Structure 1
């Protein structure tokens, strides 16, 4: 895997590069209900047009399926997240005059970024995203059922290292699946050790947040990555991105369709690293970050706010803007 960039002083980075560029940031999957996005879907012409395409590709109504299920990771919910984010990006360009120099996504958000950047047509993206979701859910029904990914925060690096060293000494499988912010990590480990792990995190002064089940971003999921590459992406042509895409692993800039395809396929095994990607993005001259889509966390993070002028672009903002 590619190495990560060092964390640097964000103010120094921006001033050195004379940064005044913008970027669209697409978060990963987040829990939502139809009630949260339904009004926007009705009022936004951008959303309505894309919903019609999605309904046609899937052969069923996206909104009706959401009404019948609250599983935000289901294939149809992933498509709804795509439609929602793309429509919000259109709104930001139209109403706020944003022309992003770069775009990026965290985890699932990379698939949205690939679509926004024009690597895939909307019809192809809907099909690909739904099929990837089906592959992922089917894989975890039978594989690695023993693993979960735990989100922890406010955990000092030294204590994190001590906790992981203890797991290693006891021969307990574990992997750092994400570095989100200072003290904020994703750790994959067996569920049978989860209670002890979260108790140890608490005793070290940290907090255990949500548990991701199925787990994510771990090298042992290579068979899933290979399956997606073979069964979903093999016959899909990715165009070169019209807007360069920044990797969520190391801040590298992806400018070819082949590179985007590899990024999407390898997302299951690569750890995400916003802690390093944020200053790397600032180093590219980006000062204004538009967090586009469903998000309860990324726009609030210290590493986000210290590197950028942050503007959340979500349903509530759009609806307030309409009334204003």
Structure 2
């Protein structure tokens, strides 16, 4: 792969799933012709209206909210290709964005991604109804690193369970912990001068969830054939280059019990000679991270701006 680095200048990034509801994305899903085309296929596959279920359900990470997120992400990529000439050589799926990345790179057919997304959501719901039901994942940012890790050391010394589920940038982390400890944790972060972003239920990306990985592999992934990706893929767990079916399958399973390391992805992309990142899908975070905008020119296509006339604005790197 290193011999090809000079030719690989553009990457598409499918973001992880943060706050996402019908109010923020419904207009895009209803009006965008690329989203309508994707929804039509998904409706036929499942025999129901995905948009209707998404509109009426109030669970943030229900199977239909998750599927609508995948569809919005792929529709944004379709628009970026068709309207703005995006031609990536590298692909990244950050966290939940791996599902869209699998479809985009041809590792899974879109029809299979529709079914897989629903199947995995139900698998996770079953698991967390019985195991780690009291655990959440909370994102914090602008925390001073040394004092923050001191706080984590104190929690560890008290026997308080937690895991770092994501390192997104300097001072930007995702922490999985018991919900009973969340309020005190948020206050401790504020006392350090940091900020809280959002809380995820169910939790994600922790080594403690190894049994979930095994359950998903046995009950869900065993029913799907994964092909080698047609583009170079970069793993969100360690920045490794993924170019085989086995590596793609491993990456998709790693999301259950391995933390995200966005700075590792940044390093790999830079090493591959990438200088422009297209973020396609609902994203309020990854395309704004300091380590992202320092290293790449950034173009974002999302439900808020996709329907506006004209070309998307390109944010030039800051250093």
Same fold (TM > 0.5): yes
Instruction: Note the C-alpha offset of 1:302.
Output: 0.6
For residue 218 of structure 1, the aligned residue among 206, 213, 223 is: 206
**2:122 maps to 1:122:** no
Structure 1 segments (4+ residues) deviating >6 Å: none
CA distance in 2, matches of 1:165, 1:66: 41
1:154-198 alpha-carbon deviations (Å, 9 max, x no partner): 112211221111112111112111001110001112222222222
Residues 1-324 of structure 1 correspond to what in structure 2 (within 5 A)?
21-321=9-309
Structure 1 residues 311, 120: closer, same or farther in 2, change over 3 A? same
* Partners of 2:6 and 2:272 within 8 A in 1: no
Structure 1 residues 102, 234: closer, same or farther in 2, change over 3 A? same
CA distance in 1, matches of 2:43, 2:117: 14
CA distance in 2, matches of 1:99, 1:260: 21
Does the residue aligned with 2:140 lie in a helix, a strand or coil? strand
Instruction: Note the C-alpha offset of 1:293.
Output: 0.3
Instruction: Note the C-alpha offset of 1:253.
Output: 1.0
CA distance in 2, matches of 1:37, 1:204: 34
* Partners of 1:149 and 1:211 within 8 A in 2: yes
Structure 1 residues 77, 218: closer, same or farther in 2, change over 3 A? same
Does the residue aligned with 1:320 lie in a helix, a strand or coil? coil
* Partners of 1:19 and 1:287 within 8 A in 2: no
CA distance in 2, matches of 1:252, 1:209: 28
Q: Which of 100-109 and 39-48 deviates more?
A: 39-48
Structure 1 residues 113, 164: closer, same or farther in 2, change over 3 A? same
Does the residue aligned with 2:58 lie in a helix, a strand or coil? coil
TM-score with structure 2 length normalisation? 0.91
Does the residue aligned with 1:185 lie in a helix, a strand or coil? strand
User: Unaligned stretches of 5+ in structure 2?
Assistant: 313-319
Q: CA RMSD in A?
A: 1.9
Instruction: Note the C-alpha offset of 1:286.
Output: 0.8
CA distance in 1, matches of 2:24, 2:200: 22
CA distance in 1, matches of 2:247, 2:290: 30
CA distance in 2, matches of 1:182, 1:317: 28
Q: Which of 270-279 and 31-40 deviates more?
A: 31-40
CA distance in 2, matches of 1:36, 1:175: 30
Does the residue aligned with 2:20 lie in a helix, a strand or coil? coil
Instruction: Note the C-alpha offset of 1:78.
Output: 1.4
CA distance in 2, matches of 1:164, 1:303: 23
CA distance in 1, matches of 2:28, 2:159: 49
TM-score with structure 1 length normalisation? 0.90
Does the residue aligned with 1:24 lie in a helix, a strand or coil? strand
User: Unaligned stretches of 5+ in structure 1?
Assistant: 1-16
